[in-house]
Structure formats: structure tokens, C-alpha cells
Structure 1
Amino acid sequence: MSRRTAVIGGGMAGTAAAKRLVAAGHEVVVFEAADGLGGRARSWHRPEIEPDVGINLMYVSFYPRMSALIREYGLEGDLVKISSNVHISKRGRVVGLSSDSPLDLLRYPHASFRDRVAFLFATLREVRRREELDLFDPLKTEHLDDGATAAEYGARITSAAGFDYLLRPQIEGFWNFASEGVSAVHARALLAWLGGSDFFVLRNGMEVLSERNAEGAKVRLGHEVTGLREAGGGISVGFRGGDGNEGAEEFDSAVVATPAPIAARITGGLDEAVVPAAARAFLETQEYEPALSMSYLVDPGALPKSAHIVAGGADDPPLRNMITYERTLIGEDGGRSEKLLVFCYPGRANTRRLLGQGSERQFAEVTPLLKTLWPDFPEDPRPFQAAERPYGFPIPAPGRYRASARVIREQRGPVVFCGDYFNSPTTEAALLSGYRAADALAGGPTT
């Protein structure tokens, strides 16, 4: 007789757990509060553009688990390669810096020659420790988590100014959290792995991986889980459906794959024998940097196509970064014109201030900031789509790797947890945590 398992959260981590549990013979029910799967990897879609997808997350060629899924599902033809170059802004001057080119680094004008050489040698040192510096696995990196921050590490390998225009933009330009609050392990792993990597997006959105992973499970969209409680030897899952009615259902076990604060809230009534103190403390202390994405349509030639433009410097800028993609705009008369879809992300303070304020105000306040990052930004960009995520990026603070490894080793049924907060805000880390949570329930090894 199969065991019934509830998976709470239909993002990358939850559906990875569902996939593995279905394969192990469990009857799996996925509860997802939104109207679609994918979580933070879910993209928006607009019929006015082709492809109709708003890109949210990227796939990088050194993601082994995601690479395996793309091959398994035959999605190689849907991969769209994007530029790995980062364009870094310093007082209005924007210069490209390729992670693939040492010569490009040596010509880079935003840092001193001494800092550039020091940065190159530091990168080579970390590349030699690549297997140890795993960007996704705290079981491999916990011993390196000595309390140092990324900013402290950067100031050791270069000067503080060198860090601000070499490594800081590549940390904060992708995740928007402050390097002063991030473990040095995160920065070291980036140096070890980013060079020579290829970046891609899936043509129809990253959520297709969650949708395929959930095959074989029962999926209940629009179902917000309100709480878990013990019921005999199992777990009762309380939920609110899309019609507003509340209900409860009993399961043998549960995988909680929501952001950490939500996981802490909905499991708050469970005994310490079910949720150990270390796991509860881990959930309750996880902090997030929210995300706000404002996209515009502009004419080709206004900015580089397939580019990632980020602000350099130590200060929290008004606008943190821009990412450009080529799109075809389809007019009401069926006419087609080539455009650039430009995703713009405000800095930390502006993101927090504008969150929840509505797209009209958000566009009104962000549009005047566009030229602070790209001085020649067109005068009349077309506001297109706003998207916000209060739990955007879990911050891998100093000490989190050691705490994460402890929780992973102690996970036991009937309730286990998973999410990208177990290591780094990447889809690959989410997949790994989902697989491990499923293994903890199914009695498999923690690998």
C-alpha cells in the first residue's frame, strides 16, 4: 500500500520532491497557492510578444540536475543562449566584462591594474578548489563557512574599491542582496564556477520543468495551506481553496516547500519531535531580499541585445540592473516589429519602498531612474509588465551553510523541508533540496 504524501509548494523544490516520491511509489498531492506551478521560476506570458514569455530565472551550463531534466524531457531545442557578458556601470560609463576572457579583464578600466591581476589569480585559486566550492551543496561547503562575509573576502583578494567593481556587481547584480550580509563561501563559489559557463533560458519559461516534474502527482492549484497538525501517526493539512472554503486532509507525511517564513508559520503548531529546534530556528531566522521586476519595450539599437547591465560601486543604487532580450511585438493589426524587452530591477531600498504599491506608481517612479544605469536609455520606453516577489532571494548569510547542513542531516519524517534557502537562490539548489527532502522521507541516503 503506497504512502500518501502532501507536498506544500509547487515550485522547483516541491515538484522535485514530488517527482522523486512518485518514483518511490508514494501517492503525492501538491498544494500550490498560485494558479500555476513554478514558484519563483514561474514566468508571466503576454500574447503581444513572441516568444510570449517574460523570463524570470536562468539556466547555467554547470547545473547538473537541471541539465539532466532538460535532457530527460527533451527540452534541448527550447534552450535559448544569452550573453554571459556583464556590463558594469561606473558614474555613467558602462563597460563590458566577460567572465570568459582574461584579456577582457586585463583591459577593464573600472579597477586598477593591480586589482585586476589580483582578481585573476584569486579566480584561478578558487577554480582549483571547484569541487569543494559547490554553489548548491552546503554539505560540501559548511567547513568553509567561517563567518566571513563576501565583502570581507573581496577586500582580501583585491582592494575594497576593486571588489566594488569586479566581484560585487556579479553578486548583487544577480541577486540584489548586499555583499556585507552574504557568506564569503557564496562569493568564492561564484569565482570557481562562473568562468567559461554558458547561460540559457527556456523559450516557454522555466516553469515547464516544474510542470513536468509534477507529472504523476495530483496537483491542487489555488490551494493555500493554512497549517499542519499531528493526526495520529500522520499529518493533517489544513487549506483554503480558491473558492474561499476551508478544509483539511490527512497524509502519512508532508514536504514543506514554501519560503522559510511561510514554512515556519504553517508548522508552528507542530511538536519539537516533528520539527526539531534546529530546523525551526533555521526557518525563523532566514531573511529574504524582495524582488521587483519592471519591464519595458524599446527599439533595437537602444541597448545591447542579450545583455546584463549592472551598477558597480558599494552604494545601494537607485536602479540595480537591466537585462535585455529580443522580442517580436505583434500589433493589433497583426503587424510585427522587432523590439528589445528590457527587465529593470530597482536597488534594495527602492524595491522595498515600491513593493505592493501597484504597477502604475511603480512605473512612474522607476522610469525616471533608467538613465542612472544607462545614460542613453530611450526617452519614451513603453512600460510593459511589472512583477514582484516579496520572498525574492533568500540571503545566504555567514553561518547559514553550517546551519543548513545540520538541518539536512537531521531531517526525518513525517515532516521535512526544502527550498533554495538551504544553500543559494538558484533553481539548481532548489532541485537538490527537493530531492534530499524526498530521500529523507523515503529512507534514502542524504547525498
Structure 2
Amino acid sequence: MSPVSRPARTAVIGGGMAGCAAARTLVKAGREVVLFEAGEGLGGRARSWHRPEIEPHVGINLMYVSFYPLMTELIREYGLRDELVKISSDVYIVHKGRPVPLSSDSPLNLLKYPHAPLADRFRFLLWSLGEVRRRKQLDLFDPVKVAPFDDGTSAAELGYRKLSREGFDTLLRPQIEGFWNFACEKISAVHARALLAWLGGSEFYVFRDGMQVLAERNAEGADVRTGHEVTDLQTVDGGRVRVTARPASGEPVTETFDDVVVAVPAPIAAKLAAALPQEVVGAGTRRFLESQEYEPALSVSFLLDPAGLPSHAHIVAGGPDDPPLRNMITYPRRVRDEQGRPVDRLLVFAYPGRAVTRRLLGRPTEEQFAEVAPLLRTLWPDLAAEPQPFQIAERPFGFPIPAPGRYRRSVEVMRNQGAPVVFAGDYFNSPTTEAAMLSGVRAAEKLLGTR
């Protein structure tokens, strides 16, 4: 009788959206999967914090948008539709101290928008309609589709060709930089074009208990090891990979796997790849990983009287400069007062601009709250109530910057990578949860030989 063959054993390094999507694909294919995550739980940058003082008790970090195809299918499969809470897609753009609403769904609202010259409003509308007709090619998540359009031009260069400087800086720039905080001068023009093609008419949602529920469901069937930071990868005889991980408490542990998906931020992936031989990770992949830049994110949240701000609002700074406060997002919450009575409040997430974020990262929370609180009035001058400090979340690797030409380079890396080590992450495409998951699925398919 021949011995029973064992299933291939795969390590997935990183329990964010990319890693958990890769784990799901591999488990469904019959692989034995061990998922290593350095943090306390799954979800990565999509993971929300929870505080019992508020109801709902979750802090929302990322949104689901109705044009996310992979996420939409998973929500249906897992029966999570009731977990979604619809929020307004309207944006308030603040320029020269004046907040003005701008709806992506209303051409009439756009034509009445006072921050940009009338001629630019018409040009912007026509430009958007033209990109909508190219939706199938301008896929925000798939670098294979958009790479042919990635000609090395930046979003700012394209925007200034299409609109006046004032028009671009008060129409499209705030909508790009308000969501991701990276400078339009540093990102590919095709990223801006894809946004124009898809944002109009879209619906925005958050998960009632945080988006990590999707990562947790995707990881089902894998041996999930949270609190385990992978510190070293080495190849061994037979083409297998030895993984060394350091638990939160205890001595490092080493195991050997048939292959590995590395789904961590690019700078960390580059360090893990350093000890691997050239035939496993080629020079082009190494250069790609080492060249990726990230814009860090600092989320400083406060509780405020609901009369002081619109609820379910996304309030962003307009203009060409890096402002002290880039945006605010507001969500209604119910809080118990000192007598235990329910009181309506707004949970306000404040995101400083690039320079302020970099200066405040790693500083004591008291200093972060003290510096950011006065900045709220730079975006909403009529704010009457004093903000109550509540929660801070730091993301040193907040948003991978889709630099001009990067989509072309990422496609080349994706096509050339293969067993026993592959890489996944939103730095291959765009800084969205949908893109991260697609990257994880494709990395897993490379190991399975189905792509």
C-alpha cells in the first residue's frame, strides 16, 4: 500500500486583508495553512478598535464601497449584508475657511460648487463622464488592466492639463488627498482617472463591528497564530522554506513549509527577503519591494456635541498645500454620562496633514491630542464645543503611494514571482482593502499554479 500523501503546507505571513484572502484561497484548495500575524488580531490596517463607553462600540477605520467586486461577493457568501451600515457619500471641501458640500452623485451640485471657476466645473464634469466610459479598463484594483495607462505622468500633471490650478486644487485634489493623504504630485495619473471612473453613483458603507470580521471569516480553516512576528526566512534542502517567528512571550520558534506567502508592508517584506537566494527572490522583485514608499496615517478621535458638526460627513481641506489637518470623518454615537443616561455625541476621526502626522508619530498621546484638538477648527471654523479626547490609532505604513510607473512595475513582478515565496499587498495596486484582497488571491494562485 502506498503511503498517503500529505497536503502541501503553506505559511502566510501577515494577517491583514491580503494575507487572509490568500489563506482562504489556499485552504479552499486543500492546503494546510499556518497564518502568522504580529498583532493581537486579524485585519491589519482594516482592523477597528472597540470601546465600551460608546454605542455602537466600534471605531471605524475603512469603508466598503459598492463597486468592490470581490468584497461584495464575500459579503454575500458570508451573509454579512446585515452588518453593513450605509453612510453618506457627500464630502465637504473647506477652502479659505469655508466648508462647501460636494456630492459625487449630483451634476447640479457640482455646477453650483463655488470653490472652483465655472469653466472648471464644466470641464471636470465632462472629464468625469469620459472616464466613466472607460470603466472596464480603468480598474482601481487590477494593475494588469491599468498598467497600459500608467505612462509615468502624475495626477497633478494630468489635473493641471485638464483644469486650471485653482480648479484641480479645489475639485479633485482634495478628494484624492482627503482619502489617502498622499500628495497628487507623487501618485500616478491613472489612479486619479480610475477614481473619476468609479466614484460617481457609488454607495459607501462601514461594517457594524469593523471590517476585520471579513478578514476573520477569510482566515477560517487556517491555523491562525496572532502575536507571532516572523523575523527570518531561509530556504532549506528540497526547495522548502524555514520560517522563524517570535511569539509575544517566549522563545522564537522555527518551522519548515513547502512555500510561503509574504503579505506584510513592502519594507518589512524586503527585510524578510534579504536572506533568500537570488533564484527564489529575483533582483527585480527586491528593487520593487525596496522602492515602495508609504504615507503614514495618524487617526486622532474625539467626542463632540452633535450640534457642532454634520453627521456621517467627510470634511476635507482644499487647496494645493499640505494642511495641518487633512480631513475629519464624523459618526453618530451614544455615550453614557456620569449619571448613566444615554447622550448623543459625534465620534470624530481627525487626520493631520503629512508633515504634522510625521512629526506626531510615536509621541505621547497627550501631546498628540493637545496638538490636534485646536486644528479641528481649521476645517470647521464654527465648531463651538470643546473636543473630548477619545482614541488614537497610528499606522506607520498607512498608505502605499501608487507612484507614476508603479503599476507597470508591479505587473512585471507579479508575473515573474513564483514558488516557493510569493508576495502580496496593496502596494501592488491601490491602497484599498479590495485591492489588498485581490493581491492575496493572486499570490495564492501563483503557488497553486492556477495563474
Asked if Structure 1 and Structure 2 have the same fold, meaning a TM-score greater than 0.5 normalized by the shorter chain, the answer is: yes
Matches within 5 A, 1:14-33: 14-33=19-38
Matches within 5 A, 1:35-434: 35-232=40-237, 233-331=239-337, 333-434=339-440
Superposition CA RMSD, Å? 0.8
**What is residue 3 of structure 2 aligned with on the other side?**
none
Contact 1:7 1:14 in 2 (8 A): yes
Q: Which residue identity does 1:273 align to in structure 2?
A: E
Q: Distance in 2 between matches of 1:253 and 1:334?
A: 54
Note the C-alpha offset of 1:242: 1.0
Note the C-alpha offset of 1:378: 3.0
Contact 2:308 2:385 in 1 (8 A): no
Contact 1:329 1:336 in 2 (8 A): yes
Note the C-alpha offset of 1:244: 4.0
Q: Which residue identity does 1:134 align to in structure 2?
A: D
Instruction: For residue 209 of structure 2, give the secondary structure of its aligned residue in structure 1.
Output: coil
Q: Distance in 1 between matches of 2:300 and 2:292?
A: 26
Q: Distance in 2 between matches of 1:19 and 1:202?
A: 20
Q: Deviations over 1:219-261 (max 9, x none)?
A: 0010000010001120000111111411211000000000000
Contact 1:48 1:331 in 2 (8 A): no
Moved more, 237-246 or 97-106: 237-246
Q: Distance in 1 between matches of 2:133 and 2:383?
A: 41
Q: Deviations over 1:411-445 (max 9, x none)?
A: 21100000011110000000100000000000012
* Correspondence 1:12 to 2:46: no
Instruction: For residue 301 of structure 1, give the secondary structure of its aligned residue in structure 2.
Output: helix
Q: Which runs of 5+ in 2 are unaligned?
A: 1-5
Contact 2:323 2:353 in 1 (8 A): yes
Q: Distance in 1 between matches of 2:250 and 2:119?
A: 62
Note the C-alpha offset of 1:332: 5.3
Q: Distance in 2 between matches of 1:60 and 1:115?
A: 27
Note the C-alpha offset of 1:333: 4.3
Sort the Cα spacing of 1:333 and 1:2 in 2 relative to 1 into closer, same or farther, 3 A. Answer: farther
Contact 1:141 1:401 in 2 (8 A): yes
Q: Distance in 1 between matches of 2:384 and 2:78?
A: 40
* Correspondence 1:440 to 2:449: no
Q: Which residue identity does 1:196 align to in structure 2?
A: G
Q: How high is the sequence identity, in percent, across the aligned residues?
A: 67
Moved more, 368-377 or 318-327: 368-377
Q: Which residue identity does 2:275 align to in structure 1?
A: G
Note the C-alpha offset of 1:272: 1.2
Q: Distance in 1 between matches of 2:173 and 2:250?
A: 45
Q: Distance in 2 between matches of 1:387 and 1:243?
A: 23
Q: Which residue identity does 2:358 align to in structure 1?
A: R
Q: Distance in 1 between matches of 2:196 and 2:250?
A: 48
Q: Which residue identity does 1:218 align to in structure 2?
A: D
Contact 1:184 1:398 in 2 (8 A): yes
Contact 1:31 1:223 in 2 (8 A): yes
Q: Which runs of 5+ in 1 are unaligned?
A: none
Moved more, 57-66 or 274-283: 274-283
Q: Distance in 2 between matches of 1:147 and 1:59?
A: 29
Note the C-alpha offset of 1:16: 0.1
Moved more, 164-173 or 370-379: 370-379
Note the C-alpha offset of 1:267: 1.5
Q: Distance in 1 between matches of 2:130 and 2:358?
A: 37
Note the C-alpha offset of 1:331: 3.5
Q: Distance in 1 between matches of 2:266 and 2:154?
A: 22
Q: Distance in 2 between matches of 1:411 and 1:71?
A: 32
Q: Deviations over 1:151-209 (max 9, x none)?
A: 01111111111000000011000000000000000000000000000000000000000
Contact 2:188 2:403 in 1 (8 A): yes
Contact 1:83 1:199 in 2 (8 A): yes
Moved more, 291-300 or 325-334: 325-334
Instruction: For residue 367 of structure 2, give the secondary structure of its aligned residue in structure 1.
Output: helix
Q: Distance in 2 between matches of 1:358 and 1:400?
A: 35
Note the C-alpha offset of 1:319: 0.3
Segments ≥4 residues shifted beyond 2 Å: 330-334
Q: Deviations over 1:342-377 (max 9, x none)?
A: 000000000000000021110011111111111012
TM-score normalised by L of structure 2: 0.98
Note the C-alpha offset of 1:330: 2.5
Contact 1:298 1:378 in 2 (8 A): no
Note the C-alpha offset of 1:334: 3.1
Q: Deviations over 1:56-86 (max 9, x none)?
A: 1000000000001111111101110111011
Q: Distance in 2 between matches of 1:138 and 1:360?
A: 41
